[in-house]
Structure 1
């Protein structure tokens, strides 16, 4: 079996590794236009803030380690054209611009995502930086070392982490977003308010509900123009999201309107012997029981592994995602899973309710404890859990994984309220805060 994997993304790396593990003698070729694979871009902000031991450790594989596993690595190589029906690739070496054709038995599309760059005046300025690839990270790290001010555009996880790390390193930071609040697509209004206060306490200027409409270079930096004002700093960082990088193949198979490739539960596309995984694909979102576009490394890793498990025949189905995630901002841990607010549920067409509690994570007789804010969201009628969020100075992020399992298994608030969680005063209350928020939900309805 000769397999082409297009893209050395997280999904591409795990697809290739799993294929050679599952199929003895498989000839697996990975085509990657860069010279690195498996960059953990979620660590970019931490590296910029000098919270990474070594950037070399931000890669869990290298082209060399992949070769040692029997994978044919084609680095600095771009696939410029694909015929999915014929399983034919046009391949270009970026080293010498030479091209060649090759055919395969199966093709795996793991082309990932690309930064969303809106077509607004001045967007091509060299003073605007991205935060996705290893090259983006190196450029940012070098430039931010000596600056005094920065504008971060986007108040989602990427922008939020960048703004935090820059501010704690004594940079003057402005964060701009067209949404009404910080982390609007990630947490509830209640948690947004808590986080916003922390930014303000650390000197970050929050500019919410303003849309960026243009950029203008100055001698010393850049002016970011919005529909309500203008803001100046030495540089701007764009972090407003991603879109599927599927232009190469989108016209040859079924996709969502945004170009995300549709697959079945075995990672098979609408074209026979063509598979797809990772940020280039749609995923089944368990809270809504529908497909959605949710670019996360965790989804990409699992999907890539499933490509390998299913490359010979359909064997193991994808279980879907809850889009579970976590972030730490100003020594405050936030863990989320599924839909985190009634507003978010309504936007997805779900009639939902929610409850929020605040209580110490362990008994007050301990010499120290700290408060947890815990929220639960459920579907009215069925009482099925569809989301949760947790915030505390204590690390409560694993609670999001607990609720993730509850969502995946379609548990109700009643079942969660009576689930068995241990009590030990070093770690928890007699009634764990996960149980408490579920009990509060049951009492509310």
Structure 2
């Protein structure tokens, strides 16, 4: 079995490793246009903020480590074209310029995503930076150490983390977003308002509800124009979001309108013996019970493993995702899973939610701190579809608990009576996950 894996971030790396582990005799070829594999791009903001112990540890595999596992690594090699029905790839060595055509038994598309870069006048200025690849990270690390004023465009997780790390390192930061709240697509208003105040307390200028219309180089930096004003800085950083990097495969395979390749529960595309995973593919989103596009490393890893498990024949089905994620800003941890009431409405789910605040452990302890917890459920069925937690205490695993509940179709009633331990060092007699579920039951019963 001769397999081509196109791309080697998370999905491509895990697919290649799993194929080789399950099928030692398989001939696995990985084609990657860059010089590195497995870059943890979620660490870019932390590196810029001097919170990374070693850049070497921002990669969990190398081309050499992959090769030692029996995988043929073709680095700095571009797949220029693909005929998916014929299983043929046109390949270019970016170093020598040599071109070739090769045929495979199976093709795995793990081309990932590309940063959204709207066609806005001046956006190609060398003072406007992207934040996605290893090359982007190096460029940002170098330039942010030299400048004082920085505009960050996009207040989702990427932009939020960049703005926070830059502000705590004495940079003058302006954060621009088209929506009227920071983290508007990630949080409910009662959570984003907490972060909004934290940004303002740390001197970040918020320019929310504003659409960027142009960039213009100035004598000492860049001017960003929006529909409501102009802002000047030394540089601007884009953190707008991502789209599937799948243009090469358009009209060959079924896709969503945004270019995400549709896959079934075994990671198979609409073309026989062609698989897709990660940011280039759809996921099954358990809160809505529908296919969706959710570019997260966690989804990519699991889908990559499933490609390996199913490469020869359908063996292991995808369990779906809850899009569970977390962020830490200004020493406040936020973790969430599934939907908010706002995002549920956008996706056609009629939902309700409840939010509570209580100390995470008894007040007789020498120290404790509040946890803000929210639970979202589908009206009628009472099925849990989302949750969020915010605290200076580490509440990250609470989101994982509710993620598991969503995956297993649990109701608010079931979660309210689920057994969680009590020990004063760790929690209250009624854990805050139980408390918010009980509050949800009480509200739903009214």
Please classify the TM superposition score into its range, dividing by the shorter chain length.
over 0.9
Instruction: Tell me by how many angstroms 1:249 deviates.
Output: 0.8
Runs of at least 4 residues off by over 6 Å:
none
Tell me which residue corresponds to 1:184.
184
Deviation string, structure 1 residues 196-232 (Cα, Å, up to 9, x no partner):
0000000001110000010000011000100010000
Instruction: Tell me by how many angstroms 1:317 deviates.
Output: 0.3
Mapped partners of 1:291, 1:9: distance in 2: 22
Instruction: Tell me by how many angstroms 1:166 deviates.
Output: 0.2
Aligned length in residues: 444
Deviation string, structure 1 residues 209-268 (Cα, Å, up to 9, x no partner):
000010000011000100010000000000000000001112200000001000100000
Q: Residue 248 of structure 1 aligns to a residue in which SS?
A: helix
Mapped partners of 1:67, 1:216: distance in 2: 46
Tell me which residue corresponds to 1:363.
362
Q: 1:129 and 2:134 equivalent?
A: no
Q: How does 1:8-407 map to 2 (within 5 A)?
A: 8-340=8-340, 342-407=341-406
Q: Residue 19 of structure 2 aligns to a residue in which SS?
A: helix
Q: Residue 11 of structure 1 aligns to a residue in which SS?
A: helix
Instruction: Tell me by how many angstroms 1:343 deviates.
Output: 1.7
TM-score, normalised to structure 2, is: 0.99
Mapped partners of 1:9, 1:368: distance in 2: 42
Deviation string, structure 1 residues 126-158 (Cα, Å, up to 9, x no partner):
000011000000000000012111000000000
Deviation string, structure 1 residues 240-298 (Cα, Å, up to 9, x no partner):
00000001112200000001000100000000000000000011000000011100000
Mapped partners of 2:255, 2:419: distance in 1: 42
Q: RMSD value over aligned CA atoms?
A: 0.5
Instruction: Tell me by how many angstroms 1:24 deviates.
Output: 2.1
Q: Residue 366 of structure 1 aligns to a residue in which SS?
A: coil
Tell me which residue corresponds to 1:423.
422
Mapped partners of 2:279, 2:133: distance in 1: 14
Deviation string, structure 1 residues 10-59 (Cα, Å, up to 9, x no partner):
10000000000001210000000000000000000000000000111100
Mapped partners of 2:371, 2:307: distance in 1: 39
Q: Residue 160 of structure 2 aligns to a residue in which SS?
A: helix
Mapped partners of 1:148, 1:402: distance in 2: 41
Structure 1 gaps of 5+ residues are none
Mapped partners of 2:347, 2:246: distance in 1: 25
Mapped partners of 1:398, 1:147: distance in 2: 37
Instruction: Tell me by how many angstroms 1:98 deviates.
Output: 1.1
Instruction: Tell me by how many angstroms 1:124 deviates.
Output: 0.6
Mapped partners of 1:93, 1:248: distance in 2: 18
Mapped partners of 2:250, 2:293: distance in 1: 15
Mapped partners of 2:278, 2:250: distance in 1: 15
Q: Residue 108 of structure 1 aligns to a residue in which SS?
A: strand
Instruction: Tell me by how many angstroms 1:9 deviates.
Output: 1.5
